[in-house]
Amino acid sequence: MKRELTCIICPRGCSLQVDIQGDQVKVSGNACPKGATYGHDECLHPARTVTSIVRVSNREDTRVSVKTVAPIPKENIFDLMEIIRAASVQAPVAIGDVICKNVYGTDVIATKAID
Ligand code: SF4
């Protein structure tokens, strides 16, 4: 099977051609090794860093922005969003505070401080 991808690792956005034969993946069109790794992983184990917001329970109409520390498998994104939607945190919040621990192999952390 052949796939066409755009590498999203840097702004250059190389057009990748990926030839998939079972678990063998051959990537071309990449200007650097990162593109080969991206093409391989995107075809065999696609994952994304997830960003969202979490309710701050002791501040009216306040949310804190959050993100996963590491990418998670794409098939788990909707389930993670349900976990994040149900979560809340109490201020004060510091950047890097763990909001959801050990979900799909990573943590969800705050990316904004709330005094
Ligand atoms: S292959 Fe390398 S140069 Fe091209 S977009 Fe990806 S990271 Fe950037």
pLDDT tens column, 28-71: 999 999 999 999 999 999 999 999 999 999 999 999 999 999 99
Helix (H, G, I), strand (E, B) or coil at 19: strand
Tell me how far apart the alpha carbons of residues 73 and 63 are, in angstroms, rounded to a whole number: 25
Which residues are within 8 A (CB) of 101 and not within 5 positions of it... i.e. 6 or more apart?
107
- At 23 the pLDDT is 81
Whether the CB of 52 sits within 6 Å of ligand 1? no
7 C-alpha to ligand 1 centroid (Å): 6
Ligand 1 atom with minimal separation from the 35 CA: 1
Q: In percent, how much of the chain has pLDDT > 70?
A: 100
Is 90 exceeded by the pLDDT of residue 108?
yes
Length of the chain: 115
- At position 4, the amino acid (one-letter code) is E
Question: Would you say the CB of residue 7 lies under 6 angstroms from ligand 1?
Answer: yes
What confidence tens digit (pLDDT) does each residue in 75-90 have?
999 999 999 999 999 9
Instruction: State if pTM tops 0.85.
Output: no
Q: Which residue, judged by its Cα, is nearest atom 2 of ligand 1?
A: 32
Q: Does pLDDT of 22 surpass 90?
A: no
